[in-house]
């Protein structure tokens, strides 16, 4: 995001008038007056703190509801707005993203003074020299964060009643011996992996350890939300798109979802060792002394074949659904995560259906991933059903790399081929075979077996080394 050069000019404020139909809370007007006394670039990268109606273009279908329920008070450099709505502070992003920033104005001000709003232009340390003054202003007023109800802006914006709550995700298996040997802080974090963001345990952890609320929901525009607490040595990732069968998307409203805690990064500031590793164990030799030899070597990126990056992988539950990964590129990274797949094609195109049909007949699909649809898989192998029929029944979220057999290099090759990497691309190959339609895509109407046979030479060219 764009930054402004530091200057001695002060922030502009426009706080004299309230938008039509609204009354400005005294606290918000007072903080606006305070901001107007601060030098530009000391409280964040913005120009004007002022009250205004929420422009219709931010959500044309909800413009009247938005304008009746709240008003904006700060515009960010990228065009995003912060608004006070139903006593909460919310974000209306310039790219359509929406979320609750804080459940109350008081909570927002405290987070602003700490650089923990989750908004880059307010949290950037290069524009933070005024935070101490804001914290002192808050303290001088005796401001306290009230116990406010959790507000889900994205779900409210959807204009529909939330779906009934369901129970949090059940246990993913019994903890491994590694987990039993961990300290209490790390065991607590591990126990939350794969749980819903609205589970009581996750909500408490976010509030107690991170000092922030857990995400209320995610949307197609904002399908992933990170929460970071540098002093606690933890960063969490929440998403509704966990590519694992045990974690289907959970609709909250028509266009919002309940996310899962899918990933946690454990930083050197974490208060406990991780399997004996402390902040000084930063070399391969030091890590090997504690964990043994690396479990595997992986490429440094999806673009290279060289296996140069050591990884130590330990399962965290008896099903292997969650794992701890220590990796050592230029720096050491410790990750707790749900072991999920990578998407090849989430949209189930005709070209992908051709490949699925061909892969089924050539033994490249992983049978365990189709256990509930074994008869349909067998029918495709006999060419009595098409790949698209198998995908409709068994792959409602599209084709993943884990749907292919776990053979050395196969899943990486497929990922590159589906994602146009290293000169490999399924669409380019299919264009050569079938020509292009009016939109420039491969000219394919259905995944007939005749079409599979026509495409087989290009499939075999890329995957011959893994065929039986």
What are 56-76's pLDDT values in tens digits? 998 888 999 999 999 999 999
The conformation of residue 169, written as its DSSP 8-state character, comes to: P
pLDDT band at residue 7 under the 50/70/90 scheme: very low
Query: For 258-262, what is the mean pLDDT?
Result: 96
Cβ atoms within 10 Å of 140's Cβ, excluding its own: 8
Which is it for strands 48-52 and 12-14: parallel, antiparallel or unpaired? Answer: parallel
Which uninterrupted H or E stretch holds 220? Answer: none
Sign of CA dihedral 290, 296, 301, 307: positive
Residues 6+ apart with CB under 8 A from 120: 1
pLDDT at position 95 over 70? yes
Dihedral Cα 121, 124, 129, 130, nearest 10 deg:
40
Phi, psi of 85 (to 5 degrees): -140, 120
What are 334-343's pLDDT values in tens digits? 999 999 999 9
Cα–Cα distance for residue pair 236/336, rounded to 1 Å: 9
Among 183, 200, 201, 184, residue whose Cα is nearest residue 192: 201
Among 237, 241, 217, residue whose Cα is nearest residue 225: 237
User: How high is the pLDDT of residue 443?
Assistant: 94
Which tokens in the block code for residue 429?
A: 């190959």
User: How high is the pLDDT of residue 6?
Assistant: 42
pLDDT band at residue 168 under the 50/70/90 scheme: low
For residue 170, the Cα-to-chain-centroid distance in whole angstroms is: 21
pLDDT band at residue 163 under the 50/70/90 scheme: low
pLDDT at position 165 over 80? no
Using CB atoms within 10 A of its CB, is residue 141 exposed (0-12), middle (13-18) or buried (19+)? middle
Cβ atoms within 10 Å of 108's Cβ, excluding its own: 24
User: How high is the pLDDT of residue 313?
Assistant: 97
pLDDT at position 41 over 90? yes
What are 411-451's pLDDT values in tens digits? 999 999 999 999 999 999 999 999 999 989 999 999 999 99
pLDDT at position 399 over 50? yes
User: How high is the pLDDT of residue 170?
Assistant: 57
Query: For 247-266, what is the mean pLDDT?
Result: 93
Q: Helix/strand/coil (H, E, C) string of the chain?
A: CCCCCCCCCECEEECCCCCCCCCCCHHHHHHHHHHCCCECCCCCCCCEEEEECCCHHHCHHHHHHHHHHEEEEEECCCCCEEEEECCEEEEECCCCCEEEEECCHHHHHHHHHHCCCCCHHHHCHHHCCCHHHHHHHHHHCCCCCCCCCCCCHHHHHHCCCCCCCCCCCCCCCCECHHHHCCCHHHHHHHHHCCCECCCHHHHHHHHHHHCCCCCCCECCCCCEEEEEEHHHCEEEEEECCCCCCCCCCEEEECCEEECEEEEEEECCCCCCCECCECCCCCCHHHHHHHHCCCCEEEECCCCCCCEEEEEEEEECECCCCEEEEEEECCCEEEEEEECCCCEEECCCCHHHHHHHHHHHHCCCECHHHHHHHHHHHHHHHCCCCCHHHHHHHHCCCCEEHHHECCCCCHHHHHHHHHCCECCECHHHHHHHHHCECCCCCECCCCCCHHHHHHHHHHHHHHHHHHCC
Query: For 29-57, what is the mean pLDDT?
Result: 95
Angle between helices 105-114 and 26-35 (to 10 degrees): 20
Angle at CA of residue 326, ends 323 and 330, nearest 5°: 150
pLDDT at position 3 over 80? no
User: How high is the pLDDT of residue 187?
Assistant: 97
279 or 169: which leads in pLDDT: 279
What are 265-307's pLDDT values in tens digits? 999 999 999 999 998 999 999 999 999 999 999 999 989 989 9
Which uninterrupted H or E stretch holds 454? Answer: helix 449-463
Q: What pTM does this model have? A: 0.83
**266 touches 337 (CB < 8 A):** no
Query: For 170-197, what is the mean pLDDT?
Result: 92
User: How high is the pLDDT of residue 1?
Assistant: 41
Which is it for strands 256-258 and 224-229: parallel, antiparallel or unpaired? Answer: unpaired
4 or 107: which leads in pLDDT: 107
Mean pLDDT of the residues in the chain: 93
What are 118-156's pLDDT values in tens digits? 899 999 999 999 999 999 999 999 999 999 988 999 999
Query: For 83-98, what is the mean pLDDT?
Result: 93
Question: Percentage of the chain surpassing pLDDT 70?
Answer: 96
User: How high is the pLDDT of residue 4?
Assistant: 43
Question: Percentage of the chain surpassing pLDDT 90?
Answer: 83
User: How high is the pLDDT of residue 162?
Assistant: 59
């Amino acid at each position: 995001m764009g930054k402004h050069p530091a200057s001695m000019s002060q922030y502009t404020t426009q706080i004299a008038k309230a938008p039509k139909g609204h009354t400005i809370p005294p606290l918000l007007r007072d903080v606006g007056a305070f901001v107007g006394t601060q030098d530009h670039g000391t409280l964040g990268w913005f120009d004007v703190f002022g009250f205004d109606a929420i422009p219709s273009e931010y959500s044309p279908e909800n413009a009247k509801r938005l304008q009746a329920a709240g008003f904006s008070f700060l515009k960010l450099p990228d065009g995003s707005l912060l608004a006070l709505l139903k006593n909460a502070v919310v974000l209306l992003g310039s790219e359509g993203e929406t979320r609750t920033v804080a459940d109350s104005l008081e909570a927002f001000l405290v987070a602003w003074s700490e650089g923990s709003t989750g908004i880059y232009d307010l949290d950037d340390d290069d524009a933070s020299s005024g935070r101490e003054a804001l914290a002192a202003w808050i303290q001088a007023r005796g401001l306290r964060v009230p116990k406010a109800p959790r507000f889900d802006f994205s779900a409210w914006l959807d204009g529909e009643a939330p779906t009934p709550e369901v129970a949090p995700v059940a246990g993913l298996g019994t903890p491994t011996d590694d987990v039993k040997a961990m300290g209490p802080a790390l065991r607590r974090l591990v126990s939350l992996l794969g749980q819903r963001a609205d589970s009581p345990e996750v909500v408490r952890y976010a509030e107690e350890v991170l000092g922030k609320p857990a995400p209320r929901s995610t949307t197609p525009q904002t399908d992933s939300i990170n929460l970071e607490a540098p002093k606690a040595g933890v960063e969490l990732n929440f998403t509704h798109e966990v590519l694992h069968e045990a974690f289907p998307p959970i609709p909250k409203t028509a266009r919002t979802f309940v996310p899962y805690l899918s990933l946690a990064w454990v930083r050197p500031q974490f208060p406990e060792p991780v399997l004996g590793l402390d902040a000084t164990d930063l070399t391969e030799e030091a890590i090997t002394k504690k964990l043994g030899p690396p479990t595997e070597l992986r490429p440094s990126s999806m673009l290279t074949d060289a296996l140069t990056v050591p990884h130590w992988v330990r399962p965290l539950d008896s099903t292997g659904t969650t794992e701890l990964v220590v990796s050592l590129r230029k720096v050491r990274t410790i990750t707790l995560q749900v072991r999920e797949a990578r998407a090849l094609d989430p949209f189930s195109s005709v070209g992908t259906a051709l490949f699925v049909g061909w892969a089924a007949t050539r033994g490249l699909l992983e049978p365990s991933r189709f256990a509930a649809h074994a008869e349909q898989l067998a029918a495709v192998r006999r060419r009595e059903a098409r790949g698209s029929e198998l995908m409709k029944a068994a792959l409602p979220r599209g084709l993943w790399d884990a749907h292919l057999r776990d053979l050395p290099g196969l899943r990486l090759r497929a990922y590159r081929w589906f994602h146009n990497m290293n000169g490999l691309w399924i669409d380019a190959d299919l264009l050569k075979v079938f020509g292009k339609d009016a939109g420039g895509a491969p000219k394919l109407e259905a995944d007939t077996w005749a079409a599979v046979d026509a495409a087989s030479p290009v499939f075999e060219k890329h995957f011959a080394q893994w065929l039986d």
